[in-house]
Amino acid sequence: MDRDILETLFHKAVAAAQPELAVRAHLPGPPAGRTIVIGAGKASAQMARAFEQAWDGPISGLVVTRYG
């Protein structure tokens, strides 16, 4: 395969795996009750941030991730 095609495919795959995009694409409708976010892992902070930005309503919860 051509190197340019492989680089394009690589960059598209990396972009599609960004937590900010993945979370927004899979959010359900708002529930009738409370919304609690729980997360752990390297991408959990980015995913929680994306959720907080996209969600309309109060949120509580805990996210644990590594520092740095």
Q: How many domains does the chain have?
A: 1
pTM of the model: 0.70
Weakest-pLDDT range from 11-15, 16-20, 32-36? 16-20
In the predicted structure, residue 56 carries a pLDDT above the cut 70: yes
Domain span at residue 39 reads 3-64
- Cα dist. 35→7, 25, 46, 54, 60 in Å? 40, 18, 18, 13, 7
